[in-house]
Structure 1
Amino acid sequence: MTNDLIEYAVCADPDARQGVSHAWCMTCGMRSQEAEDRAVVKHWCLGHAGETGHKRFRAVVTTFLMVVPAPGRVTPARPVDMREAPSTLSAGGGRGLKP
């Protein structure tokens, strides 16, 4: 049964932007623009606080990941659709996907 599992690793997607962040006001719900430079988001928070008196913000930093075969494993012949391939536990204790 474990022969049909592909062991994988999760890593940063080299083709995607990294560290994209934004913040929103916990009082009124206004949201900053997304930016790779966190200072831009902090500046928006300071400006919003100065204009409104609102002082509580939620900040989110998004990173983009991709799943790749673990070292020594081959890539499946077709991409694995995460909606069609539920995650299962392999015999070795690692997690795998059915191709």
Structure 2
Amino acid sequence: MTAAEFALTLGTAVIRLRANTARQVDRWYSKMTDEKILGIEGGGTKTAWALVANGVIVESGKLPPSNLRLTPLDQITKIFRVLPREVNRIGVFLA
């Protein structure tokens, strides 16, 4: 096999791989867009949250701090109780 033939074969394989990956991402994203996803980021000054549906932020807000080292657990529980509950997935990051 010549270098040109090898490059052509490799290039075709990469293009196929990219196309397959793009289709997989499209399928994954279409499943995700039907879900409501709640994202929470808590720190020492505030707790920020956003609710995403169909790839768009539909609600968001800020609450008191929820730092794991500085905020008592009962206070973190109170903060989390006011967040939206009708969700399919939750992502949480607390400092």
Q: TM-score, normalization: structure 2?
A: 0.27
Between Structure 1 and Structure 2, whose CA radius of gyration is higher? Answer: 2
Q: TM-score, normalization: structure 1?
A: 0.27
Higher RCO (CA < 8 A, seq sep 6+): 1
Please identify which structure carries the higher helix content.
2
